[in-house]
Amino acid sequence: MPHDESLGSTGSASANAPEEPISDAERYSRQILFAGIGAEGQQRLAAAHVAVVGCGAMGAASASLLARAGVGSITIIDRDFVEASNLQRQVLFDEDDARQSLPKAEAARRHIQRFNSGITVHAHIADLAPANISELLAPAQILLDATDNFETRYLLNDYAVREGKPWIYAAAIGAYAATMNILPPQSFGGPSACLACIFPKPPSGNLETCDTAGILATAVNLAASVQVTEALKHLTGHPQLMRRTLLSFDLWNPASSLPLPTLDRAEIAAASPRPECEVCGKRIFSHLSGQSRAHITLCGRDSVQIHEHHRPVDFTALRARLSAHSDIRDIRSNDLLLRFRRGPHTITLFPDGRAIVQGTTDVMLARSLYARFIGA
């Protein structure tokens, strides 16, 4: 931080003097005082590697908490970019990120670096898929779910069960928050139920999303706080303390059966696997094999994601080509993405050929726009 005479300096130090690094002993002093962590636990955190899958509201909160706790390496994977509507609840982003449409993983890395330069953040602007999941998640000791769809959660569950890695499910919608630890066979007390034990099939019907039901930032932060606390138990050598239930809260509606309003809290037992579970029981990994993965998925906010085109894109050449179209507006690009508008549709393209088409949920229209302006 530059020397500031207005902050009461005596003027004895040079304005160009190098900044004093913040010691770990000072930074983590209050956390080390907590008996559950202590000095040994802090050393374990410094050596740990955690992956956060998704960096929207949940992922931003969880990544921030992990970084401030001193987890030495954090992998952040996210396919999306920052928008103004994110700022109400996505704690790692600011207005400049939204104006620049920065990819969330990279924006998160930059902000974390500013408040904790002593850890390493690996930012991956990508859609987690069967083809890249092993490469992206192999280094991590524990996986944190911060996704917005069950397709990715079932993929994560397949991978974690196959590889014997613990992972923590977390979700929030409206004022509702939920988390669950999924623990492998080598865990203290043996394996817990996996996601497919509790939800054998993805939820069906008209499911509420943040776009239909809204969301409270407080619900997100509660789920993230529980999720990261459970991860800290694992990383600091206290696996016996990890919860073995699907835990949920409704922060807005009080429990009606009690005389005084209180937090509506529920727990579903998840201590043991379901014997007939296709994933952890029969070890059938259909999501990991790609059998259940659609080539195009909806992003949940009047958008279609197109991710079957995997090839490098020359942004300079494409920008020049787009400029020749009289109906193309607001072409913007940097090293991380290229974005343009055409009528009511906004198309955001990433360097690997993946794109998000906003302004429609019509898959065929999204394909048509992609093929016309980016290429088949």
User: Which active-site residues does the annotation give?
Assistant: 210
**How far, in whole angstroms, is CA 256 from its chain's centroid?**
33
DSSP state letter for 140: -
Q: Are strands 338-342 and 345-349 parallel, antiparallel or unpaired?
A: antiparallel
Taking each helix axis from N to C end, the angle separating 217-235 and 38-46, rounded to the nearest 10 degrees, works out to: 100
Query: How far, in Å, CA of 231 to CA of 77, rounded?
Result: 18
Answer for the pair 245, 169: CB distance below 8 angstroms, yes or no: no
Q: 124: Cβ–Cβ under 8 A, 6 or more apart, which residues?
A: 75, 76, 77, 78, 105, 136
Answer for the pair 143, 133: CB distance below 8 angstroms, yes or no: no
Answer for the pair 142, 184: CB distance below 8 angstroms, yes or no: no
CA distance between the termini of the chain: 49
Q: What 3-state DSSP class applies to 316?
A: helix
Answer for the pair 75, 136: CB distance below 8 angstroms, yes or no: yes
Q: Are strands 142-145 and 167-173 parallel, antiparallel or unpaired?
A: parallel
Beta bridge partners of 247: 179, 267
DSSP state letter for 239: G
Query: How far, in Å, CA of 130 to CA of 151, rounded?
Result: 11
Q: 81: Cβ–Cβ under 8 A, 6 or more apart, which residues?
A: 101, 102, 103, 104, 337, 348, 356
Query: How far, in Å, CA of 169 to CA of 274, rounded?
Result: 17
Query: How far, in Å, CA of 42 to CA of 209, rounded?
Result: 37
Q: Residue 23 burial by CB count (10 A; 0-12/13-18/19+): exposed, middle or buried?
A: exposed
The amino acid occupying position 210 is C
